[in-house]
Amino acid sequence: MWNGIPAGVRNARRCARIAARMTRLNFVARSHYRGDFLIAIACGVLWQTSVVAFVGVVLSRFTGFGGWTTGALVLSVGMRLLSHGLFVMFFGRITMLGMLVQEGMVESYLTRPLPVLLQVLLSSFSVTSIGDLLAGGAVFAAALVQSDLAWDLGRACYLIACVLSGTLIEAAVHLVIAGWVVRRPQDSGIGLAVDELAGMFGGYPLHVFPLPVAMALTYVVPLAFISYLPAKVLLDAPGGSGVPDWLAAASPLVGPVLFALALALWNRGLRRYRGVGG
């Protein structure tokens, strides 16, 4: 301790100040190239709009989707898109770890006095994430307007907690993959496959899929806790999830717990890192 402040707290403060400063500098650096900056935002918006367009096609073909109303489905998709946008903004660089290992960049991170993961996350700013957040926020806002749920402070706080938890769940999944990739960089394509899986199934009612698929997307790759189960709890939507009611209601806690476990696995994998050449 120093001046009554534990060393861990002082280190956390220091890392937070560095993170804020580096994020600001990265943002300013990217914004100097106005054309590239605006194109990247537009790409983020268009990519997420394509997801919304697909949902529109589904809703135009079917009057209901697994018994869910249009408002319920849009809320689930909006939560998924908003959580994903936050993930890309704050944790998106995790997905680049396979490339960083292959390029030998991890070795340089290990020689610096900051945690390797923090250095990776601060290495650049994802402008595309602004577009992701704009599109996700628009869908999310539209869903709230369409919803006939009587909102109060408790429900609002629960909804916000679920969105933040969804961000941590996606970060946790990719962090576990990163812990594996630092030892086997040739398997870096796993992260892309998980991204595709989340994009295809993440926002939809999982009870419409065969039970083995729904269970895999709940307990193996826990996409169900990002938006499906929180939306089901909030709206009391129909459909058997195969998840105990208490666990579904505890969705806001799943993200922090999984992220803490993933961080422990990442640190363990990093300690066994031996470099590109083994």
Question: What's the whole-model pTM score?
Answer: 0.85
Res 278 pLDDT > 60: no
Quick check: 15 and 113 in contact, CB under 8 A? no
Tell me how far CA of residue 54 lies from CA of 40, 103, 182, 219, 224, in angstroms.
22, 37, 35, 26, 19
Residue 15 lies in a domain: no
Residue 80 lies in a domain: yes
Residue 173 lies in a domain: yes
> ∠ CA(10), CA(12), CA(17), 5° rounding?
95
Confidence of residue 275 (pLDDT cuts 50, 70, 90): low
Quick check: 168 and 259 in contact, CB under 8 A? yes
Residue 101 structural domain = 33-271
The reported pLDDT for the residue numbered 165 is 96
Residue 25 lies in a domain: no
The reported pLDDT for the residue numbered 9 is 56
* β-pair partners for 65: 68
* Higher pLDDT, residue 255 or 186: 255
Q: What is the DSSP letter of 192?
A: H
Residue 87 lies in a domain: yes
76-134 residue pLDDT tens: 888 898 999 899 888 988 888 777 777 777 778 888 777 888 888 888 888 888 888 88
Confidence of residue 256 (pLDDT cuts 50, 70, 90): very high
Res 2 pLDDT > 50: no
Distance CA 163, CA 158 (A): 9
Residue 22 lies in a domain: no
Closest CA to 47 of 121, 111, 134, 174: 134
230-242 residue pLDDT tens: 988 888 877 666 7
- What total of structural domains would you count in the chain? 1
Res 43 pLDDT > 50: yes
Quick check: 164 and 78 in contact, CB under 8 A? no
Closest CA to 88 of 131, 31, 54: 131
Instruction: Supply φ then ψ for residue 2, to 5 degrees.
Output: -145, 120
Res 59 pLDDT > 70: no
The reported pLDDT for the residue numbered 277 is 54
Distance CA 262, CA 169 (A): 10
Residue 4 lies in a domain: no
Residue 277 lies in a domain: no
Distance CA 150, CA 57 (A): 28
Distance CA 87, CA 84 (A): 5
The reported pLDDT for the residue numbered 87 is 92
Mean pLDDT, the chain, integer: 81
pLDDT above 70 covers a percentage of the chain that reads: 90
Res 257 pLDDT > 90: yes
Which DSSP string do the residues of 214-247 spell out, in sequence order?
A: HHIIIIIS-GGGTTHHHHHHHHT--S--SS-HHH
